[in-house]
Amino acid sequence: MAVSKETSLSYALSSNAAWAGYKAHQNPSFFPHLASGQSPKILWLGCSDSRCPETTILGLQPGDVFVHRNIANIISPTDINTSAVIEYAVVHLQVGCVLLCGHTCCGGAAAALGDSRVGGVLDTWLTPLKSLRIAHSEELAAIRDDKARIVRIAELNVEAGVEILMANAAIQEAIKERGLEVHGCLFDLDSGRVRDLGFGTSKSGSLPGASKQIVRGNHGMLVFQAGNASMIVR
């Protein structure tokens, strides 16, 4: 539904009131439980794109997913914002799974493939993607379809990000001590499906104690097993 600029806030607040009323009617203890604390099982590192709402995509509920999003889901080891989120989620919240998820039709990926400057700080932020373009120039040039080329650089971006995650000290320690899982995924806007790209802990096989993990939501269970993820709706 298209919403005018003048009414976007009032529409959002009205929609929120309807949602809150429905959730409270459906489960009177939902909000009191939510307010008592959080124990998410997943850390989602994704793109800020409005079409990629992580909890909705995974079929889960508020409280199930700890989230960090930025333009083009770029993981930089020197970005204190990203590092703080990872440390809090892994060390303090003890999440069981880290998902780095890119997506198709990514504007950041498309911009990195273009020859024109975006302008402002965005050019600096997208430098890692520009670097991937240079490093994989022959492969990307051989892909004639523009949409497929954007998907490919998005996959390469996830792979590069997962490599940085796997070198993170907090993540390495959690993998060793309690079987933390790290996965690189891609969300397909055309189908609504999340595809495991096989990067991370699944690349070298499951670790002891981490062969199977279930993330429970009120309406579904997201099951990770042997490098694959599936949704069981209940």
Q: Among residues 33, 51, 117, 178, which one is catalytic?
A: 51
Q: Which residue in the list 49, 52, 101, 149 is annotated as catalytic?
A: 49
Token pair in block for residue 132: 């991937």
Map 109-168 to HEC letters.
HHHHHCCCCCCCHHHHHCHHHHHHHHHCHHHHHCCCCHHHHHHHHHHHHHHHHHHHHHCC
Q: Which residues of 67-99 are buried (b: 16+ CB within 10 A; e: fewer)?
A: ebbbbbbbbeeeeeebbebbeebbeeeebbbbb
User: Of 171, 166, 167, 178, which is closest to residue 203 (Cα–Cα)?
Assistant: 166
Q: Which two tokens stand for residue 149?
A: 């080329």
Which pLDDT score is estimated for 12?
Answer: 94
Does 103 participate in catalysis according to the annotation? yes
Q: Where are the domains of the chain?
A: 38-204
pLDDT above 90: residue 212: no
Residue 202 has what pLDDT? 80
At residue 113, the pLDDT reads 96
173-187: average pLDDT? 98
Residue 93's pLDDT is: 98
Please determine, for residue 160, whether its predicted confidence score (pLDDT) is greater than 90. Answer: yes
Query: Mean of the per-residue pLDDT values for the chain?
Result: 89
pLDDT at res. 3: 55
User: What pLDDT is stored for residue 234 in this prediction?
Assistant: 40
Predicted confidence at residue 233, as pLDDT, reads: 44
In this prediction, residue 215 carries a pLDDT of: 45
The total of other beta-carbon atoms located within 10 Å of residue 170's CB is 17
Average of per-residue pLDDT across 6-33: 94
Q: Is the pLDDT of residue 150 over 60?
A: yes
Active-site residue, selected from the candidate residues 52, 64, 101, 103: 103
CB 89 within 8 A of CB 72: no
Average pLDDT over residues 3-28: 89
Instruction: Tell me the two tokens of residue 23.
Output: 């959730």
The answer to whether 51 is a known catalytic residue is yes
127 falls in which pLDDT band (50, 70, 90)? very high
Can you tell me the distance from the alpha carbon of 203 to that of 103, in angstroms, rounded to the nearest whole number? 20
Is the pTM higher than 0.75? yes
> What angle separates helix 80-87 from helix 169-178, to the nearest 10 degrees?
20
Predicted pLDDT at 7? 83
The 10s digit of each residue's pLDDT in 25-79 is: 999 999 999 999 999 999 999 999 999 999 999 999 999 999 999 999 999 999 9
Catalytic residue among 52, 97, 101, 106: 106
pLDDT-based confidence at 229, cuts 50/70/90?
A: low
The answer to whether residue 107 scores a pLDDT higher than 90 is yes
Residues 49 and 27: beta-carbon distance below 8 Å: no
Q: Is the pLDDT of residue 208 over 70?
A: no
Instruction: Please check whether the domain covering 38-204 is classified as CATH 3.20.20.80.
Output: no
The pLDDT-based confidence of 148 (bands split at 50, 70, 90) is very high
Name the token pair of 73.
């889901």
Does 47 participate in catalysis according to the annotation?
Answer: yes
